[in-house]
Amino acid sequence: MLNPNNHIIQALPIIHHIAESAKKEDYKEIIIGSFIRGADKKGACTGHCAGRCIDLNISSRSFESVAALQMVVRILGYLTNLPDKYKKSMGFGMPLQGQFFGHQNLTKYKGVSTTLLKNEELRKLVNQLGYVFPDNDNHLHIQFNWLSKSASNYETEVVYEEGESYENS
């Protein structure tokens, strides 16, 4: 289990930055979802369990809406203002719905080209910050590798645990 006394929770500075940025704009649509989960059935602790991921939702719940697209563009815009050490090491899981990947037949959790994103602004932002992969519906998954010396090892690694899936509750 993740112990913040001896393990850096990489998601916390990112969550703080998103929350502070939204507060400055009085933007209240972002819901901070899960960012710490237990180990998998085999006891392995990666991704959410290791404090390297966060799921973000919108108050209206559906990512089919224009508001969801605008929220994700806003969040990625906030992230471009982070110090350089955080940039190019983020993975973005976006849903196979709406103005993200649409309803394309893509394999979830595998890195893909940003050209598959339907929205030009999203493509530009993801290219500045890291990489993208199709994920489950109705949330934005962000994973962080900012403690690594090089993000290049993570370009297509998705850090969901085996058998783990996102459930919108």
High-pLDDT (> 90) share of the chain, %: 53
Angle, CA of 33, 50 and 142, to the nearest 5° = 45
The pLDDT of residue 29 is above 90: yes
The domain limits of the chain are 11-154
| Overall average pLDDT of the 25-29 stretch | 96
* Residue 142 bridge partners (DSSP): 54, 92
pTM score above 0.75? yes
Q: How distant, in Å, are the alpha carbons of 17, 38, 100 from that of 51?
A: 16, 10, 25
DSSP 91-154: EEEEESSTTTTTT----TTS-B-GGGSS-HHHHHHHHHHEEEEEE-SS-EEEEE-TTSS-GGGG
Rounded-to-integer distance, Cα 108 and Cα 103, Å: 12
pLDDT of residue 42: 80
Confidence label for 3 from pLDDT (cuts 50, 70 and 90) = low
Rounded-to-integer distance, Cα 73 and Cα 163, Å: 29
Angle between helices 11-25 and 66-79 (to 10 degrees): 120
pLDDT digits (tens, 9 = 90+) for 103-123: 999 999 899 999 999 999 999
pLDDT digits (tens, 9 = 90+) for 57-74: 999 989 999 999 999 999
